[in-house]
Structure 1
């Protein structure tokens, strides 16, 4: 049971920073997805892949994983690249 600890990036469809302040602990998928015989939907027997835990800091997420013996990988936070330009630059 391996988990990934990361800070989610801002969605391309949102202008604010909602739900990007917390760190997320998400379990890796251990079972392969396969189509359901009746409906044809993709699914698996792995229920751990549905669990997403949110923590206020990276240290809190790491402490939780070590306390419960969960192997984890920390994905470093990506720096934000802001492209500052004026509205008048659209007409040059």
Structure 2
């Protein structure tokens, strides 16, 4: 597997879904990272892991991977459950208490 194609999840600190519409193509690491003895930093010689390509939809990302001859894995996003909650429901007579 050369690349991974996925749609990013929303940030835990945001309520909107602004930057979650794009699809990202990421290269998988070739070798494990290693710790530097002198500084203690983690690094490696693989520069492909720094590359992230953004596409408008999944089909464009798959077409790019096929065109370049890369094997790919598509990770589908989880569907979001629509929950409609009102403040007034906290005081309803027939509410379910957990």
Q: What TM-score do the two structures reach when normalised by structure 1?
A: 0.87
Q: CA deviation at 1:77?
A: 2.1
2:39 is equivalent to residue 39 of structure 1: yes
Q: CA deviation at 1:87?
A: 2.4
Equivalent residue for 1:70? 70
Which structure would you say has the larger Rg? 2
Structure 1, 51-60 or 10-19: larger mean CA deviation: 10-19
Q: What TM-score do the two structures reach when normalised by structure 2?
A: 0.82
Ranges in structure 1 where 5+ consecutive residues have no aligned partner: none
RMSD: 1.8
What is the total number of aligned residue pairs between the two structures?
92
Ranges in structure 2 where 5+ consecutive residues have no aligned partner: 92-96
